[in-house]
Structure 1
Amino acid sequence: MEAKKITSIELGRLVAIFVVVAMHCQMFLSYFLYQDTPWFGFIFNQSTRFAVPLFFLISGFLIQPKLTATPMTTLKRYCTPLMRVFIVWSVICLLMPFNLQTVLTDGYLAERSGYWGYLMQAPVNTLLEGGLVHLWFIPALMIAALITALLLNAGKGAWLLPIAVVLYVYGVLAGSYVNLTELWSPFFTRNGPFFSTLMFAIGFVIREKNIRTSSAQAIMLALVGMALHFSEAYWLTSFDQPFNGNDFLFGTLLWGTGTFLFLLAKPNLGNTPWVLSLSKSVLAIYVSHLPIIILMMNVAGGLQLNGPLKDAVVFSGTIILTLLLVKGVEKTPLNQWLFR
């Protein structure tokens, strides 16, 4: 079966992108408190952490045949539009004011200069994140594809998984586990090759080896991975690691892989026109949603909204405005510059 006909993958991408949007809206952090701690919000935050790994897995799966056949040519064709989107949205986010009240009181340059100065404090990290933090996904994806293509081109494809595993382990130990290990890292390990390479590689190998499981096996793997992720997150709070501060842990690997294998086991899920239509806009939704969340946060602040009402307004407003923006731009020549 061709990957483009596995509609469950398209449904999975849609679920993942809306989960990411909800997480970035910082929901449930001011209510449902337990001993003055928003544990419900923290748990919600961590429950979304399968989504980005799923994007990497799907990317590796979809590109495998072409990347295997012509590694460097495919890499160039794959990364060129991604690089363009990354640069364009970085510029947009660098120029877009985040605090409209500060712009009104102190001026545009005063509002922006603080953010630009903050980014310059860690230039290498900023290079891998771009103009706004969520854009880290694009360079990470390109680096994973680059590592894979170089190994394939050199006839060392068998090295991909071992190298990717080493990168992942280091990324976890120098990331969420850093208070225990005190390992040095040149930049925030969520960025760059540390996590993306293994997730991309697993998707690549699943396609290459035609690996399949039953839906029950996949669900079990995902549940074990999720339980491990949450157990790690809770245990790490004893070492001053915030419960909601974990992008990738050891369990995340199993959680994301199990979720992806479940989608492969149910290939006809999401076989509806709206899923197939909307799934084509996932990258566009991803790059544009966080600036719109920032806009909606300003609106909610101006209206002095709090609690569930604020969350509802920010989340629903973000979804509506993002979809209107994306679908509107897709009908114009700007689409090839803004959204690949």
Structure 2
Amino acid sequence: MQFKHARIDSIDAMRVLAMLAVIQIHSPWYSRVNVTSLNTATIADQFARFAVPFFFVISGYLWASRSSAVGDYWPRSVAISKRVILIFFFWSFIYAIGPSLYLIRQEGLNSFLANILSVVYPFDPIRFLSAVLEGTKNHLWFLPALAIAALISGALLARGRELTLFVLATLLFAVGLAGSAYADAPYGFTSDFNFRNGPFFSLIMFASGYAIHRYGQGLALLPIGIGLAAGGFTLQLFETTWIHRQWGTPLLHDYIVGTYFFGLGMSMIALSNTRYLRVKALSSVGPLILGVYASHYYFVEHVRWLEQTVENPYLRGPAYLAVVFLLSLGTSFMLAQWRGTKQFVT
């Protein structure tokens, strides 16, 4: 997502495509992914995995483009983090209203208060940390992860610790892999913590966006991006299958090694500003994609009637994506009209 930067049409267009991919992952058809073999739904899910890495890389690139000119990495990191966390709290509150009112109506105020208290008592560090890093709806994890990545990057770069940033990002990524996709491997480990959260996945992507801005000037981003994206996606398919065959691990993963190269390649394609992505119909709604991302899960949960309404299975999936996206876009557009809520969707 983009936070108050000059618009680049190809990035905004790719942002729309990435948002559709996110909706696909969260759709009812996600449950039809086969965790033991690469069926069509599984391959489609794998392809959609470029979306969140793309958002992180682009955020890092745009942050670097504003910070590096005068070297104010830390102030800009603090600024973007404050803004992101404010958005996180706003949407966490929005998603908490419905379930909270339902719980109060069904079980009374005491049950509601006990439900809130359960986050901290009896104290479970993993449960508490998950609540802090995810908020009240699962997809909101992206926002704290982005804020943490920006703060770490800003703190290290402000002190001239660029190499430390890249090493730390790589180590955290490796730990995240060992605790998630490779947990069943001899060098992996199991944990109740979801290593998708926090800096384990976000920092390497955000830092890579910085690296593209810092060292990518003059590179042929389009062909390199296409190569990385194609290679990363192929590696991702091979990797998931290999992990399953080696240790019986299910095929569903938030990220693996191939996901990094896949997301990086798609980001470079967007940054190339290729004419194939300068589509006004897509880029014109790019500024509202933050709001679409934040609000879409409400419609994901309430548009499942399409499964009974649209009988043709080949039309049902695209219809679902279109309806959820348009409803989320409409919500973002309306909120963007008011000064008090515009900051939460653009």
| Contact 1:218–1:261 (CA under 8 A) maintained in structure 2 | yes
Match of 2:18 in 1: 16
Match of 1:290 in 2: 297
- Show CA shifts across 1:96-142 (max 9, x none): 239x9x999x5698998998699777121121111111001011111
The 1:127/1:67 distance shift into structure 2, 3 A limit, reads: same
3-state SS of 1:248 partner: coil
CA separation in 1, counterparts of 2:338 and 2:40?
A: 42
- Equivalent position to 1:134, from 130, 139, 147: 139
Q: How does 1:1-340 map to 2 (within 5 A)?
A: 4=6, 6-27=8-29, 29-30=31-32, 39-68=39-68, 69-97=71-99, 122-180=127-185, 181-183=187-189, 187-211=193-217, 212-213=219-220, 215-238=222-245, 239-243=247-251, 245-297=252-304, 299-300=305-306, 308=313, 311=317, 314-336=320-342, 338-339=344-345
Residue type at the aligned position of 1:232: E
The 1:328/1:111 distance shift into structure 2, 3 A limit, reads: farther
Residue type at the aligned position of 2:338: T
CA separation in 2, counterparts of 1:252 and 1:73?
A: 31
- Show CA shifts across 1:265-299 (max 9, x none): 344443344333211011111110012111223x4
The 1:167/1:18 distance shift into structure 2, 3 A limit, reads: same
- Show CA shifts across 1:286-319 (max 9, x none): 110012111223x458x68788376455433312
The 1:90/1:316 distance shift into structure 2, 3 A limit, reads: same
CA separation in 1, counterparts of 2:98 and 2:145?
A: 23
3-state SS of 1:97 partner: helix
| Contact 2:335–2:342 (CA under 8 A) maintained in structure 1 | no
Residue type at the aligned position of 1:97: P
Moved more, 183-192 or 118-127: 118-127
The 1:313/1:224 distance shift into structure 2, 3 A limit, reads: closer
- Show CA shifts across 1:16-54 (max 9, x none): 1111112211326459x899x782222211111111101
CA separation in 1, counterparts of 2:222 and 2:344?
A: 37
| Contact 1:94–1:116 (CA under 8 A) maintained in structure 2 | no
Give 1:194 shift.
0.6
CA separation in 1, counterparts of 2:174 and 2:191?
A: 13
Aligned-pair identity (%): 26
| Contact 2:289–2:329 (CA under 8 A) maintained in structure 1 | no
CA separation in 2, counterparts of 1:216 and 1:202?
A: 18
CA separation in 1, counterparts of 2:59 and 2:115?
A: 32
Residue type at the aligned position of 1:321: L
Residue type at the aligned position of 2:39: W
| Contact 1:128–1:192 (CA under 8 A) maintained in structure 2 | yes
Give 1:263 shift.
2.5
CA separation in 2, counterparts of 1:186 and 1:157?
A: 32
Residue type at the aligned position of 2:263: G
Residue type at the aligned position of 1:142: A
